[in-house]
Structure 1
Amino acid sequence: MKKIIMPFTLLLLILSACGGGESSGQELNGNDTITYESENGPVEVPADPQRVAVLSSFAGNVMALDVNLVGVDPWSKMNPRFEDELQDIEEVTDESLEKLIELEPDLIIGYSDIKNVSKLEQIAPVVTYTYGNVDYLTQHIEIGKLLNKEKEAKEWVDDFKERAQVAGEEIKDVIGEDTTVSVFENFDKQLYVFGDNWGRGTEVLYQEMELAMPEKVAEVALEDGYYALSPEVLSEFAGDYMVFSKVDDADLSFEKTDTYQNIPAVQNDQVIEVNAAEFYFNDPITLEYQLETYHERFLE
């Protein structure tokens, strides 16, 4: 089972040995810059960034490329998978202007909907991305370009796709080619079912492993990425297997109802429960964990 999952720390060591982040092989100094072609046009950024602040969910991408962080968004900060790496890193938002000034970042990264961009640009170069503008693996390659580590990013993407495909074939050999899987989450007193590009491991399950999605889920969740539903109709969207991304302290009383207990996936003990806080993102660190989790749980 473990033969297809390369430990992420080992992967980083291999990538570092293959050339660090400087594709030219030349030693960089702190004043060197490159021009990154962002969504909003060219931005001059450090060629070897040392103090990156992330205001959206790209912390895992930056860490995977072995680049130093000085500030991260609240969602990344509360991710248990990032706890050790981020324990001494400041929590920041697009409103944390004074704190960011103190942290002296040399690069700020966020989603395109962050506020105070003009003020943030007075602190450091700012690069933003629109969620879903490119697919999740291309997004990591873009982060690699931004951090002058495109080669490392591409190598990881190619390796991950290969390993995920192998895992998918092994899983389908066991559960069946046409066996369906659906992904649910209980968040803020609401249930959601997800399509194939909204984190929660959906990219791994559907895009890379190519496991089957229930037709009803495809009808309502593919375009927007998610669909809100009530517990009373959950069974209509349940696949042969259900992945349940659970939020701490959420109301799970519906699980005791006959409606839920009579769902075939529940009766057949084919519900895979995961910690939502660990599964939100689709960065390399999270994707590695999702791949390993699914490979183990489906083959149990």
Structure 2
Amino acid sequence: MFSLRYFSRRGLTLITTMLIMALMISACGTTETGNGNNNTETVQTATADPAQAVETNSVEESKVKTVSTINGDIEIPVHPQRIVAEEYLGSLIALDVIPVGAPGLTIKNYYFKESLEGLEDIGDYGNPSVEKIVALNPDLIITGNGDKSYEQLSKIAPTIVIPYGDLKNAHEELTYFGELFGKEEEAKTWLEEYDKRIATAKAKVDAAIPAEATFSIMEDGGKSIWVYGDNFGRGGQAVYQALGRKPPSGVAAEILEKQWAELTAEMVSKYAGDYIIMTSNSRTMDDYKADPIWGSIPAVNKGQMYVWPEERSWYYDPLAVLAQTEELAEWLSKKDR
């Protein structure tokens, strides 16, 4: 029989030998595996092309979705990066969606022109330069004048046509574009603040001006006079929508349906309300008071006419309407008008 002591020594020696061999095999294996891992990382690093990384990141940006338009269903990028906005620029800015190009007239918008430095001018409003738009390489075009240019524009990039007047107020515009760009919460937040400020402005006017007082929105073009409704700029959205005021009853239905009318000098008194919001680039309140025709109109004679230039009255986007409403409310609420 083997002694217990002898067995322990032999067992210990055997176990030690086996452990040493296992460690050697493990070390060899680790070296090979380690080299394999290092080689893989090197290959990955060596073949990691920045262009491929950009391509991978752009996969999300290149996703498309289908939207319904007056020209049928079209595919647009889920996250457009280079938008040309011939129209609705103010709504885009409210949602922090800054395009790469827009007409010069909208770029000069009195209410947000400082936010648009560097934006490319694509030409005349309603008649943009196709060449300038092509040069901007847009991935989405937004316009309100599709009847004139849709065929050309849609060949450049997916083009959404929203005819002028289809979106009738700030809520409709912000809600539409919030859904279009996946910014529903931003639109909701903006509109909540808008509603608060409009309510404050309206309360000031209601406290100072009788509810039955009528308002007219006019523009003096020198040789022609125009009167406007509630969705044609010149302060109509601010007065008729935001402040809830009405045109003279005898012409209200016509004006709110047609949205505009050209007047002769003899027609002015019929369309003149108790208050007149007048757009003129050349005449002042004193000029109107001194004019034989205008001076005989009660609103002018009483000083209940507000004269502002086209650069402030022409715009009708949500940002402009909010600012115009507060501006007019400040004037209307003054006791020393």
With structure 1 as the length reference, what TM-score do the two structures score? 0.81
Aligned residues of 1:194 and 1:217 also touching (Cα < 8 A): no
Match of 1:110 in 2: 143
Give me the whole-angstrom Cα distance separating, in 1, the residues matched to 2:319 and 2:241: 17
Amino acid in the other structure paired with 1:45: I
1:269 to 303, 310, 316: 303
2:75 to 38, 44, 59: 44
Aligned residues of 2:145 and 2:161 also touching (Cα < 8 A): yes
In structure 2, the gaps of 5 or more residues are 1-57
Give me the whole-angstrom Cα distance separating, in 1, the residues matched to 2:329 and 2:60: 43
Match of 2:188 in 1: 154
Aligned residues of 2:277 and 2:305 also touching (Cα < 8 A): yes
Per-residue deviation at 1:162?
A: 4.3
Using a 3 Å threshold, how does the CA distance of structure 1 residues 217 and 103 change in structure 2: closer, same or farther? same
Amino acid in the other structure paired with 2:153: L
Using a 3 Å threshold, how does the CA distance of structure 1 residues 92 and 248 change in structure 2: closer, same or farther? farther
1:145 aligns to what SS in structure 2? helix
Using a 3 Å threshold, how does the CA distance of structure 1 residues 242 and 249 change in structure 2: closer, same or farther? closer
Give me the whole-angstrom Cα distance separating, in 2, the residues matched to 1:181 and 1:230: 19
Per-residue deviation at 1:255?
A: 5.9
Residue 59 in structure 1 maps to residue 89 in structure 2:
yes
% identical equivalent positions: 30
Amino acid in the other structure paired with 1:223: E
Give me the whole-angstrom Cα distance separating, in 2, the residues matched to 1:221 and 1:247: 23
1:121 to 127, 138, 154: 154
2:121 to 70, 73, 91: 91
Give me the whole-angstrom Cα distance separating, in 1, the residues matched to 2:64 and 2:196: 34
Per-residue deviation at 1:38?
A: 2.1
Per-residue deviation at 1:108?
A: 0.5
Give me the whole-angstrom Cα distance separating, in 2, the residues matched to 1:125 and 1:59: 17
Residue 228 in structure 1 maps to residue 258 in structure 2:
no
Matches within 5 A, 1:1-300: 29-56=60-87, 58-93=88-123, 94-137=127-170, 138-187=172-221, 189-247=223-281, 256-300=290-334
2:60 aligns to what SS in structure 1? coil
Count residues with an aligned counterpart. 272
Aligned residues of 2:235 and 2:277 also touching (Cα < 8 A): no
Greater relative contact order (Cα 8 A, min sep 6): structure 1 or 2? 1
Of Structure 1 and Structure 2, the greater helix share is in 2
Per-residue deviation at 1:247?
A: 3.5
Give me the whole-angstrom Cα distance separating, in 1, the residues matched to 2:232 and 2:128: 25
Per-residue deviation at 1:122?
A: 2.8
Using a 3 Å threshold, how does the CA distance of structure 1 residues 116 and 204 change in structure 2: closer, same or farther? closer
In structure 1, the gaps of 5 or more residues are 1-26
With structure 2 as the length reference, what TM-score do the two structures score? 0.72
Using a 3 Å threshold, how does the CA distance of structure 1 residues 28 and 84 change in structure 2: closer, same or farther? farther
Aligned residues of 1:95 and 1:115 also touching (Cα < 8 A): no
RMSD: 2.6
